A and B are shown apart, each in its own frame.
Chain A
């Protein structure tokens, strides 16, 4: 970076710091973190974003900035580790790289790396990371086949690492999250053999033992998760508190764009509609909700992962939907959907604080 550029960016950082000291809002924190990131000071950016999140824990924009900065810092470490794998490969490097990939949500890449590790060195820990990556994929996509494969991979990891508690903990986590309590009890019993007298494990064993009395089998539990799209420890989307601001002005702005016939925001049983009126609005909101539900299920069953965007085109025009975990936004246009319409949908979800990053 040239001296002039550095000087200018330092000036921008200083003015962002000044704005933050005058007004410690989430926006000011996000701006300062972004300025640090642009200047290449990733550590500072991360620190500012974390500080901002302590004050404004529900702010969607700040969360996104924090996540992006964290990803950038992990990218740097991943580059170093990839280089080390070429020059001096060793289990610690493979393991850390797998861990970073899993933590950053790149489970497909993590699984590929674990397979490559196993094929190269036949190291037992690779099987654990493969199982972990597949389990994370199941948590993200709620697909029965992923869950089944994760259980199989955990079994092989347990065989290869008999004294390591991690595969048993992973089995416990997987079984507990899908509601297979008999399997969870088995994992806890094995963990207690490895770590006898652990009070946390003992307490959990007692809880799980009562739940296991009328529990489903693994296959039934996995089928139920795939069907509902919800893990046992997840609360229903309509039960989660709304975290963001008012989305109505954004809906109105988008509805004013040329060619837009209707804008919808659906969260749980509530729908906000701009454009259609009266019973038509009700009918359309219900239709959009049903389309979102069927698209989510189809994406999961087809093994495509979490649905990000849905587009329907026909004589009626174009209906573009952005389904999210909690809420969904949709725009119905007479012609094609433009970039400003797409940006509008993203803004609506960002304002409602529901938009989540997904593994690509």
Chain B
């Protein structure tokens, strides 16, 4: 996850980058150290990037926001939004659907969310590449006979790969990476 989040967190204007599960549990969080140090001098209660509780709250609130938005757009026969941007007076929250998780970035006020489209696309491509790299081990046929059968032996137990990313317009194409 370090290779996924660190490049994002180092971008000037990024307050933090995080990977959270769809039910709001933080998987990994990276802060932009320079931004964090600058803000620490001011007020720890200001931003949602201070303590561990704040990070948990950020993850939980973000995921609940996405659930609410998904619920609101469902009657329009719209599927789950792939990219959500909440641009506010003192910062911007960007959430992108990543493979089996949500990639979340909080920007300082004054930074344009469009500037994060490419870096976030790259981060997701990295995640997909990583998942593809570890998948063959799980599906290795030489190891299969030694594995205990599941409760439904007739069913294939091969793990599901990464969900496809629907790249749009100026997003990075799948697998281009850095």
CB-CB nearest in chain B for A314: B81
- Those of B144-173 within 8 Å (CB) of chain A: 166, 168-169
Q: What residues of chain B lie closer than 8 Å to A283, measured between beta carbons?
A: 75-76
Q: Are A308 and B169 in contact (CB under 8 A)?
A: no
Q: Are A313 and B90 in contact (CB under 8 A)?
A: no
Q: What residues of chain A lie closer than 8 Å to B71, measured between beta carbons?
A: 290
Q: How far does the Cβ of B164 sit from chain A's closest Cβ, in whole Å? A: 11
- Those of B44-64 within 8 Å (CB) of chain A: 45-48, 58, 61-62, 64
Q: Are A306 and B89 in contact (CB under 8 A)?
A: yes
Q: Are A287 and B89 in contact (CB under 8 A)?
A: no
One of A10-18, A85-93, A191-199, A296-304 contacting the partner: A296-304
Q: How far does the Cβ of B35 sit from chain A's closest Cβ, in whole Å? A: 14
Q: How far does the Cβ of A108 sit from chain B's closest Cβ, in whole Å? A: 7
**Residue in A284, A290, A291, A308 whose CB lies within 8 Å of B88:** A308
Known: A287-B72, A303-B47, A313-B168. A359 touches B82 (CB 8 A): no
Q: How far does the Cβ of A66 sit from chain B's closest Cβ, in whole Å? A: 21
Q: Are A149 and B45 in contact (CB under 8 A)?
A: yes
Q: What residues of chain B lie closer than 8 Å to A313, measured between beta carbons?
A: 81-84, 168
- Whole-angstrom distance between the alpha carbons of A316 and B80 in the complex? 9
Q: Are A310 and B86 in contact (CB under 8 A)?
A: yes
Q: Are B65 and A360 in contact (CB under 8 A)?
A: no
User: Does A237 have its Cβ within 8 Å of any Cβ on chain B?
Assistant: no
Known: A302-B58, A303-B46, A360-B109. A336 touches B90 (CB 8 A): no
Q: Are A307 and B91 in contact (CB under 8 A)?
A: no
Q: How far does the Cβ of B76 sit from chain A's closest Cβ, in whole Å? A: 5
- Those of B78-107 within 8 Å (CB) of chain A: 78-93, 106
Q: Are A358 and B89 in contact (CB under 8 A)?
A: yes
CB-CB nearest in chain B for A291: B72
Q: How far does the Cβ of B29 sit from chain A's closest Cβ, in whole Å? A: 14
Q: What residues of chain A lie closer than 8 Å to B92, measured between beta carbons?
A: 304
User: Does B69 have its Cβ within 8 Å of any Cβ on chain A?
Assistant: yes
Known: A313-B81, A313-B82, A314-B82. A304 touches B88 (CB 8 A): yes
User: Does B113 have its Cβ within 8 Å of any Cβ on chain A?
Assistant: yes
Q: Are B168 and A310 in contact (CB under 8 A)?
A: no
Q: Are B75 and A286 in contact (CB under 8 A)?
A: yes
Chain A window 262-301, contacts with chain B (Cβ cutoff 8 Å), 1 for yes, 0 for no: 0000000000000000000001101100110011001101
Q: Are B85 and A284 in contact (CB under 8 A)?
A: no
Q: How far does the Cβ of B23 sit from chain A's closest Cβ, in whole Å? A: 16
Q: Are B45 and A145 in contact (CB under 8 A)?
A: yes
**Residue in A309, A312, A335, A359 whose CB lies within 8 Å of B73:** A312
User: Does A305 have its Cβ within 8 Å of any Cβ on chain B?
Assistant: yes
User: Does A111 have its Cβ within 8 Å of any Cβ on chain B?
Assistant: yes
Q: What residues of chain B lie closer than 8 Å to A173, measured between beta carbons?
A: none
- Whole-angstrom distance between the alpha carbons of A336 and B58 in the complex? 28
Q: Are B79 and A314 in contact (CB under 8 A)?
A: yes
Q: Are B169 and A335 in contact (CB under 8 A)?
A: yes
- Whole-angstrom distance between the alpha carbons of A202 and B115 in the complex? 56
Q: Are B169 and A304 in contact (CB under 8 A)?
A: no
Q: Are B76 and A360 in contact (CB under 8 A)?
A: no
Q: How far does the Cβ of A230 sit from chain B's closest Cβ, in whole Å? A: 17
Q: How far does the Cβ of A240 sit from chain B's closest Cβ, in whole Å? A: 21
Q: Are A360 and B89 in contact (CB under 8 A)?
A: yes
User: Does B143 have its Cβ within 8 Å of any Cβ on chain A?
Assistant: no
Q: What residues of chain B lie closer than 8 Å to A303, measured between beta carbons?
A: 46-48, 90-91
Q: Are A287 and B85 in contact (CB under 8 A)?
A: no
Q: How far does the Cβ of B88 sit from chain A's closest Cβ, in whole Å? A: 4
Q: Are B86 and A299 in contact (CB under 8 A)?
A: yes
Q: Are B85 and A310 in contact (CB under 8 A)?
A: yes
User: Does A115 have its Cβ within 8 Å of any Cβ on chain B?
Assistant: yes
Q: Are B90 and A304 in contact (CB under 8 A)?
A: yes
CB-CB nearest in chain A for B82: A314
User: Does A84 have its Cβ within 8 Å of any Cβ on chain B?
Assistant: no
**Residue in B79, B84, B93, B109 whose CB lies within 8 Å of A302:** B93
Q: What residues of chain A lie closer than 8 Å to B88, measured between beta carbons?
A: 299, 302, 304-308
**Residue in B69, B82, B87 whose CB lies within 8 Å of A294:** B69
Excluding A111-B43, A298-B86, A310-B84, 20 further A-B contacts by CB distance (< 8 Å) are A108-B46, A290-B72, A291-B73, A298-B93, A299-B88, A299-B93, A302-B48, A302-B65, A302-B93, A303-B47, A304-B86, A304-B90, A304-B92, A305-B88, A310-B87, A312-B81, A313-B81, A314-B82, A316-B73, A316-B78
- Which 8 residue pairs are nearest across A and B when measured between Cβ atoms? A305-B89, A290-B72, A304-B88, A298-B65, A294-B68, A305-B90, A309-B87, A312-B81
Interface pairs (20), CB distance under 8 Å = A111-B43, A115-B43, A291-B69, A291-B72, A298-B93, A303-B48, A304-B86, A304-B91, A305-B88, A306-B89, A308-B87, A308-B89, A309-B85, A310-B86, A310-B87, A312-B69, A313-B81, A313-B84, A336-B169, A359-B90
